[in-house]
Each structure stands twice: as structure tokens, then as C-alpha cells.
Amino acid sequence: MSQTSCLSVILAAGEGTRMKSAMPKVLHAIAGLPMVAHVVKAAEAAGATGLALVIGHGAEEMRKAAQKFAPKAETFVQEVRLGTAHAVLAAREAISKGYDDILVMFGDTPLIDAGALAAARQKLAEGAAVAVIGFRPPNPTGYGRLIEKGGQLVAIREEKDCSEAEKKIGFCNAGMMAVAGKHALRLLDKVGNDNAKGEFYLTDIVEIAGAEGLDVVATEAEFENALGINNRAELAEAEGIWQARRRREAMLAGVTLIAPETVYFSHDTEIGADTIVEPNVWFGPGVKIATGATIHAFSHLTGATIGENSEVGPFARLRPGADLRKRAKVGNFCEVKQSTVEEGAKVNHLTYIGDARVGAGANIGAGTITCNYDGYSKFFTDIGEGAFIGSNSSLVAPVSIGKGGYIASGSVITESVPDDALAFGRARQKTLPGKGKELRERFASVAAARKKAAE
């Protein structure tokens, strides 16, 4: 099978009115990735060498989105929706290119597993003309039943057309199938629309192929693989299933999740073994974590790279471009964006580091901020190796603090500081004996006068 070519035709033309959204249904995200992109990934993992997206509602938006998750996919517009077979034939140009296998999939089934698709393709390799993917839902009511006889799939029967005996069948149609490329167009062109809705149903090719004496079989996938998304409640259900799968994968790969159900991953999260993740942590897209890191509770990470044995949080936010090197620390109520925190450096408390480099072994005191934006442009702050930035300091970029530099607490630094220098950027303290008492008495007198006037 690995030597065969395969086209995946993904049907994604539905309007998704039950989503109550102006956005095409299949662009709603699971784990930060459009649900149709999950389908594309599964197809590619199952060996698809070509992709055809059949789109309709929001066609331009779909094309633009597809450039990100499937740049090599061909797109075809189903102008009028006349059934699933009609939708597949919208991709006639791609199907006619002579692929060995054709996978027909749906853009709103983001939990489909590559293994289920590969199993269907394997049946084609063994000589079947059509392999339909089935599943066994807890309650089959409402699903089309797969009617088998002598090891062959003879029909897909909609529930309203089932006999009482057929309604008892628990093996149901997941909608997806694999079709041998040499038969695909001929079978699809034979599908008629002599039915109540006047539509062309893909399921009809089962009986058409059987009538030609071709082998038609069914394969079985897990129930979750076939879940279609029609509304936001089902979207949330699918998100929960995806997250549960990913958490289990992470833990089996050596990651400790103290409260797994409270940790949320993105589709591309990379996390090394011996990492510990405490409760209520959110991983947005683009996060890569090396081995042995600790991510403390209530931290939010997006687009960040975290080195070996580094420590983040609790209550830390790492934004895109945050790059923590080995044994770096970003502590509680800190935010880092587009900055490198080099080996062993510490950003411990209540601090903002943006557009900066924090040198190896440097210490950033509580309440420090890099003032990187003047309302129009961003500027860079360079903090040298081993520098010490006192608490409540403001570093006004562009500025550099030299290696071993020392910034006194409460300073506003507007000029660069040489290596090993000590810099003060604050007014000299002045102490006036007895002035505090005088102020209190004056303020009390004013307050009393206001109260009396109010009465």
C-alpha cells in the first residue's frame, strides 16, 4: 500500500447554520487548529499524496485558510449542494488524474484517526473496490446501518428505510470511505437522484459496485472517529476528546500532569520527558518545551521555547518569541515577549520583559519593566551576562546594560550602562524631620472641614 498514490477528497462545503456563525463551520478550531485541518493531517498521515478540498460557503475565506494548513491542496467549489456524490464529483478534475486510491472524508469530523483511514486503504490493496468506514455508536438511532452478507457490504440503509430487523443492527455508517481509483469516476457517475430529495448520495455506490460484482467491504473505527460537528456544544465535546487523547499521549511519553483535566494543549505543542506541568496551564500554538522543565500553575504560554530544566510560573505569561534557555526562570506574575532569557537567568516577580535579551546568570528584580514601545515603534533592551537589575526599575529602550552591570532599585535608565558599572536613575532622597506629622494634621483638618460643611 505504501507504493500506491492516494487522493483525499475532503467535503467542506456545508454552511454550518447550526454553528450560528458567519465563519465556515469547518474553520472553527479544535486545539487551535481548524477542524478541517485536523482532517487534512489525518489524511496525510494515512498516506494521501494529493488533497482536494470541496468548498462552498465562504469559499474565499476557505481558500485563504487552506494556504496555511494545506498549501498544496486543490480547491473545488460546489456551487449548488445536490448531495454527497455530487460534492465528490466537484473534484472530478483531481479524481481523473489516475490515483490508485480515493479517500472520501468530511471536513467536520476532526477526530478521525489516520489508522482508520489506513485500514480502509488496506482493504483496497487486498482487492476491494470500495471500503466503507463504519462504527458502533452507543445508540444507533438516526444513523445509516451497514448491511453485510457473506463478508460483503451489500447496502447502506438509512434508518427510515430499515426493516425492524435492520434497525437492530449496531454497525453504522461513518460517512467516510475509500474507493479504488480505477473505479471511482465510473461508480460516481452511475449514482442517480431518484429519491425524495432529488440528491445524489455517495452511499449508493455500495449497491452499484455490488451489482457490478466488485468487492465492497466495511471496516470498523472507534466511535469517536466518526463524530461530526454541527454546533458549538459538539465542538466543545470534540475539544474535550482531543485534549484527553493528547494528555494521555503526553503522560505515556514521560510528562507529569498533576491535574491532567485542567491542562490544555494546542495541536502543535511539543513537550519533553520529565517535564512537570501543574494544574490550570494553557499551551497556545507554537510552544516547545525541552526535558526536565517545570511549568507551575495558572501559566499561559503561546509561541514560546523553553529550555532544559527551566522553570515557569506560577501565573506567568509567555508570549510569542519568548525563548528561555537552559535553567532559566520566569516566576510569578511575569510576562515575557519576543525576548531571550539566557542560561540560568532569573526573572522572578511582577516583571515585564519585551524585545530584550537577558544575559546568562542575570537577575531581574521585582517590578522591573523594559519600556520597549513609544507608541509607534518597538526598541530593544540588551541586559548583559551577570547583570543585576534592582527592583522597580524601568529600562527605557533602546538601552544596554553591560556585563556585570548593577542597576539601583527604583531607577529609570535611559542611557546605556558599561560593564561592571553601578547606575542610579532616581532623584536624591530628601528627609524633612517632623514634616510627616504636619502633613497629617493639615489633611485631618481639611477632612474635618469638609465633613462639617456636608452636615
Task: Output the pLDDT for position 158.
Answer: 87
pTM: 0.89
pLDDT band at 196 (very low <50, low <70, confident <90, very high): confident
Q: Is the pLDDT of residue 2 over 60?
A: no
Among 226, 252, 282, where does a domain finish? 226
The answer to whether position 24 is within a domain reads yes
Task: Output the pLDDT for position 39.
Answer: 97
359 and 375 belong to one structural domain: yes
How much of the chain exceeds pLDDT 90, in percent?
87
Q: Region 40-50: what's the mean pLDDT?
A: 96
151 and 242 belong to one structural domain: no
311 and 197 belong to one structural domain: no
Task: Output the pLDDT for position 1.
Answer: 43
**Cα separation, 291 vs 289, whole angstroms:** 7
250 and 349 belong to one structural domain: yes
44 and 170 belong to one structural domain: yes
The answer to whether position 441 is within a domain reads no
322 and 214 belong to one structural domain: no
CATH number at 268 reads 2.160.10.10
pLDDT digits (tens, 9 = 90+) for 318-359: 999 999 999 999 999 999 999 999 999 999 999 999 999 999
138 and 68 belong to one structural domain: yes
The answer to whether position 405 is within a domain reads yes
The answer to whether position 452 is within a domain reads no
pLDDT band at 393 (very low <50, low <70, confident <90, very high): very high
pLDDT band at 57 (very low <50, low <70, confident <90, very high): confident
222 and 258 belong to one structural domain: no
Among 195, 226, 257, where does a domain finish? 226
215 and 267 belong to one structural domain: no
Question: Are the C-beta atoms of residues 116 and 129 closer than 8 Å to each other?
Answer: no
pLDDT digits (tens, 9 = 90+) for 230-275: 999 999 999 999 999 999 999 999 999 999 999 999 999 999 999 9
The answer to whether position 447 is within a domain reads no
**Cα separation, 98 vs 77, whole angstroms:** 21
Task: Output the pLDDT for position 3.
Answer: 66
393 and 339 belong to one structural domain: yes
Residue 146: give the domain boundaries. 6-226
The separation between CA 204 and the C-alpha centre of its own chain, rounded to angstroms, equals: 36
**What is the set of active-site residues?**
349
Q: Region 59-70: what's the mean pLDDT?
A: 92
pLDDT digits (tens, 9 = 90+) for 94-127: 999 999 999 999 999 999 999 999 999 999 999 9
17 phi-psi bin (left φ>0, alpha ψ -120 to 50, beta other):
alpha
The answer to whether position 437 is within a domain reads no
Q: Is the pLDDT of residue 375 over 50?
A: yes
Instruction: Please state the φ and ψ torsions of residue 275, each to the nearest 5 degrees.
Output: -80, 140
391 and 329 belong to one structural domain: yes
Which cell goes with 370? 523594559
**Cα separation, 289 vs 421, whole angstroms:** 35
Task: Output the pLDDT for position 89.
Answer: 96
**Cα separation, 412 vs 393, whole angstroms:** 6
Among 226, 257, 283, where does a domain finish? 226
Total tally of structural domains belonging to the chain: 2
254 and 137 belong to one structural domain: no
pLDDT digits (tens, 9 = 90+) for 151-182: 999 999 888 888 899 999 999 999 999 999 99
**Cα separation, 135 vs 145, whole angstroms:** 10
The answer to whether position 450 is within a domain reads no
CATH number at 27 reads 3.90.550.10
Task: Output the pLDDT for position 58.
Answer: 87
Q: For residue 51, list its beta bridge partners.
A: 8
The answer to whether position 453 is within a domain reads no
